[in-house]
Amino acid sequence: MSKTTLFLSLLLVFAALAAAQTCDLNLYKAANGLTAEAATNGVQLSWIGEKGASLRATFGTINGQPTIRELAVMKAAGAPWTILARELTPEFDVVSGVRRMSQQQLSPLQAMKVPITPELVEKEKWNAFWDAPLFIPGQPGQSMDLPRKPEEIRRASSSFAESKCSVKSTPGRLSVDFSGLKMGIFSGLLRFTVYRGSNLLRQEAVASTQENSVAYKYNAGLRGFSIEETKMISWQDTARAWQRYEFGGAVNKDPVALRARNRLALVETAGGTIAVFPPSHKFFFAREIELNLGYVWYRKDSEKTFSAGVRQAEHEEEYRPYGVTDEVWKRREEQSRHNLGNFALYNAPPGSEQHMAVYYLLSPANGALTRERVLDYTHGDTYKPVPGYQVAISHFHTHFNEQLTDAGTIDLQPTWWPVFRALGVNIAMMSDFHGDSHQNDPGPLRFAEEKVYFEGARRHSDKSFLIMPGEEPDGHLGGHYTMVFPKPVFWSHIRQAGQTFEQQDPTYGHVYHVGSADEELKMMQKEGALMWQAHPRTKGSTGYPDAVKEWPHFQSDRFLGGSYQSLPVDQSEQRICEKRCLSVLDDMNNWRTAAGPSTPGNLRYMIAEGDTYMKYPDDETFPQLIVNYVHLDKVPRFDDDWSPILKAMRAGDFFVSTGEVLLKNYGVQGKNYVAEVEWTFPLEFVELVWGDGKTTDRKIIPATEFGEFGTHRFEIPFDPAGKKWIRFAAWDSAGNGALTQPVGLQ
């Protein structure tokens, strides 16, 4: 070997050794089942996955671009390594627009004569629902400062001018970060996370913007899958039939959206499968329908490579079904079914750290078996039964009466019926007469429609499924509110001359004609009804329940609290509806206990609601629904007394859950709060939240050491001195969670 050749060889060796040190391991601590070690131009993570499988992911950089050099799995000790993919490049695309406050939010504030200041608009715009930042020019009168301009919409893809690598250990997991991420107005880092005992790999852009009024959506995935080493990409369609694409077609220009059931695509190789899917709930912002818009994608980039990942659409899609009269359908479509002006995207307040995630499951199994494993994380997209509890949902505008009347038969099975049954729902509290029927008729028309409504609910209820015909009347209390009764009740929102508050109708029996807020409350007290503020502090309830906290309605034990749904979505928040919903819950209980007792009738609760419209079996409903687990041994039959449901809710004897995190045997025991928690995705943290009648505080207990599919009894010491109420919540690493209702301490 010549001296020159030897010198060049040594230079290459020294360069490789130097490159091996480019990933900072100072924050890495060796742990059983989780290993990080320097690799050429990067780092290799090795970990023990499910059922003792070994996994490894090797990361590096090429010209500053982070790259997954290899993904591999070993099914069992002593088995050969299976290489699932090599040389993959992470990619992200962001589309952003301008967040605006909606006219629906302005209206209740203007009615209360609240000054509409720039500071108020800046605060309230982040709770907008009726906003569609990518819809140009926008619907007149829907949002402030219309029309929207094309230049407001900005598109950017991820790039790395310079990237430095670092590894961090957290109990139960390892993460590797690559700095230098740029995506137009966003900048930050790229992060990969692996979890001990799990085959999951989480990829996320952790980025922020300093611009104001940013609303955005993202696509994420991996580029560079080898067509030669891949058999197909497969998925189940919305009818649950297996489909596949084998990359024999022409090269794609854009991502091909797959309307895949369960939001899941499977990259099948000769030795295993890489499943691709988004976070099961946190990925989805509030809509009024659940039409599957295609949340996973592939793109054939060349004859040799393809890409795959997750996506959000840019707008709702129009849909015109058959079998409905034009008059009825026109009203329905304008209200909800495909309103292009309602597609709010995610919030990105200035400086907030947004987490744009996609998940991969690395499996040595085929696509079908891998799919079943992924579905374990969401119990097959159902709400798992918990002994002693019934799954209850509320606030759905299906126009049930109109649908049955239009069809000419009460025995028409509505399309939403199999949707709820398949999800594992036991109690459906409906909210029709909201944009449909003659909701403000004083009696003759409304009572006839209520009769159809009640009879339809009776016909389609079952031994384990009760349809409760409730309403969102929005009649005599400010803002929007939901109302449910323990039995069918005929009532009208208004009273004409000659009518009395209570009457005996020859056709419908005992009826109410409610002419005031006092009479509405009196009716609820006589009938044992409950009400709660629908979507508090947003939509038509902007400014509520704050504005009515001194009203007899709110002071009464008939007022249960406020509704809980994923609105708005801010990917910097660890909890679903963190700033709006949970602050309403805590504020209400501080108001109630500032000078009053901490009794169940005086406390206020969060009730999970859907606030959506029609449903079809091919919709993707699970990720956009949160439910209540009500402590109840059995479901009442339709003609039974439903008051056990309402009594359990009034007592706060229920918890709210996305479905992946479940609770039981929870409550205060001496100076401990005890809760048994069950979860699927690796756990993130649990917390106690309490108030003293004025302020709210919390204790967060990190739980990253708890891997996937676990149960644990948490016993958390706390001092009750000076505290009026307390609640518990548990949240997983994908943003899913469960929370109890507050209980009194004094």
Mind listing the pLDDT tens digit for each residue in 519-540? 999 999 999 999 999 999 999 9
Q: Does the structure show a pLDDT above 60 at 700? A: yes
Instruction: Using a pLDDT cut of 90, give the percent of the chain over it.
Output: 88
Tokens of 644: 């056990």
Number of alpha carbons in the 13 Å side-chain half-sphere of residue 706: 23
Quote the pLDDT of residue 322.
Answer: 52
Q: How confident is the model at residue 22 (pLDDT cuts 50, 70, 90)?
A: confident
Domain harbouring 187, CATH code: 2.70.98
Domain harbouring 633, CATH code: 3.20.20
Distance of CA 659 to the CA centre of its chain: 11
Strands 389-394 and 427-432: parallel
One domain, residues 177 and 164? yes
Quote the pLDDT of residue 713.
Answer: 98
389-409 pLDDT, tens digit per residue, is 999 999 999 999 999 999 999
Q: Does the structure show a pLDDT above 50 at 18? A: no
Q: Does the structure show a pLDDT above 70 at 20? A: no
Q: Exposed/middle/buried for 318, CB within 10 Å: 0-12, 13-18, 19+? A: exposed
Nearest to 481 by CA among 571, 381, 394: 394
One domain, residues 174 and 223? yes
One domain, residues 653 and 711? no
Sign for the pseudo-dihedral over CA of 627, 633, 634, 639: negative
Q: Does the structure show a pLDDT above 90 at 309? A: yes
Q: How many CB atoms lie within 10 A of CB 464?
A: 15
One domain, residues 664 and 568? no
Q: Which helix (H) or strand (E) holds 14?
A: helix 3-20
Alpha-carbon gap, residue 308 to 369, rounded angstroms: 19
CA angle 154, 157, 163 (to 5 degrees): 130
Q: Is residue 451 part of a domain?
A: no
Tell me which residue has tokens 């359990």.
648
Q: Does the structure show a pLDDT above 60 at 450? A: yes
Nearest to 390 by CA among 716, 162, 187, 632: 632
Q: Is residue 233 part of a domain?
A: yes
Q: Is residue 736 part of a domain?
A: yes
Quote the pLDDT of residue 19.
Answer: 41
Among residues 657, 672, 687, the one where a domain terminates is: 657
Q: Does the structure show a pLDDT above 50 at 21? A: no
Quote the pLDDT of residue 3.
Answer: 46
Nearest to 708 by CA among 419, 361, 392, 228: 361
Domain harbouring 713, CATH code: 2.60.40.10
Alpha-carbon gap, residue 292 to 359, rounded angstroms: 19
Tell me which residue has tokens 């998925």.
235
**DSSP calls for 282-295:** TT----S-------
DSSP 81: P
Q: Does the structure show a pLDDT above 80 at 542? A: yes
Total domains in the fold of the chain: 3
464-495 pLDDT, tens digit per residue, is 999 999 999 988 988 999 999 999 999 999 99
Burial track 42-76 (b if 16+ CB lie within 10 A, e otherwise): bbbbbbbbbeebbbbbbbbbeeebbbbbbbbbbbe
Alpha-carbon gap, residue 321 to 306, rounded angstroms: 36
CA-to-CA separations, 11 to 6, 15, 43, 341, 414, in angstroms, rounded: 9, 6, 21, 61, 73
Q: Is residue 74 part of a domain?
A: yes
Quote the pLDDT of residue 4.
Answer: 43
Q: Does the structure show a pLDDT above 70 at 732? A: yes
Among residues 609, 626, 657, the one where a domain terminates is: 657
Q: How many CB atoms lie within 10 A of CB 509?
A: 10
Among residues 657, 676, 708, the one where a domain terminates is: 657
One domain, residues 532 and 618? yes
- Average pLDDT of the residues in 490-505: 95
Distance of CA 312 to the CA centre of its chain: 14
Please report the beta strands in 514-617, taking only residues with DSSP state E, as ranges in sequence order: 530-533, 559-564, 605-608
Q: How confident is the model at residue 324 (pLDDT cuts 50, 70, 90)?
A: low
One domain, residues 86 and 224? yes
Q: Is residue 172 part of a domain?
A: yes
Q: Does the structure show a pLDDT above 90 at 335? A: no
Q: How confident is the model at residue 318 (pLDDT cuts 50, 70, 90)?
A: low
Quote the pLDDT of residue 8.
Answer: 38
Q: How confident is the model at residue 9 (pLDDT cuts 50, 70, 90)?
A: very low
One domain, residues 199 and 161? yes
For the chain, what is the mean pLDDT?
93
Whether this model's pTM surpasses 0.75: yes
One domain, residues 672 and 631? no
Q: Is residue 134 part of a domain?
A: no
- Average pLDDT of the residues in 313-330: 72
CA-to-CA separations, 506 to 439, 450, 509, in angstroms, rounded: 21, 15, 6
One domain, residues 309 and 399? no
Q: How many CB atoms lie within 10 A of CB 208?
A: 18
One domain, residues 246 and 345? yes
Alpha-carbon gap, residue 716 to 688, rounded angstroms: 8
Residues whose CB falls within 8 Å of the CB of residue 347, separated by 6 or more in sequence, listed in order: 99, 126, 214, 215, 568, 569, 570
3-state secondary structure of 631: strand
Q: Is residue 64 part of a domain?
A: yes
Q: Which helix (H) or strand (E) holds 6?
A: helix 3-20
- Average pLDDT of the residues in 51-77: 94
One domain, residues 609 and 682? no
Alpha-carbon gap, residue 124 to 253, rounded angstroms: 39
Quote the pLDDT of residue 333.
Answer: 64
Alpha-carbon gap, residue 531 to 676, rounded angstroms: 30
Q: Which domain holds residue 567?
A: 389-432+456-486+528-657
Specify the length of the chain in residues. Answer: 746
Assign residue 713 a region (left: φ > 0; alpha: ψ between -120 and 50; beta: otherwise).
beta
142-190 pLDDT, tens digit per residue, is 999 999 999 999 999 999 988 899 999 999 999 999 999 999 999 999 9
Q: Is residue 681 part of a domain?
A: yes
Alpha-carbon gap, residue 272 to 83, rounded angstroms: 8
**Cβ atoms 743, 725 nearer than 8 A:** yes
Q: Which residues pair with 740 in a beta bridge?
A: 655
226-260 pLDDT, tens digit per residue, is 999 999 999 999 999 999 999 999 999 999 999 99
One domain, residues 322 and 465? no
Quote the pLDDT of residue 531.
Answer: 97
Q: Which helix (H) or strand (E) holds 330?
A: helix 326-332
Least-confidence region, from 73-82, 102-111, 301-310, 506-515: 73-82
DSSP 34: E
- Average pLDDT of the residues in 327-349: 75
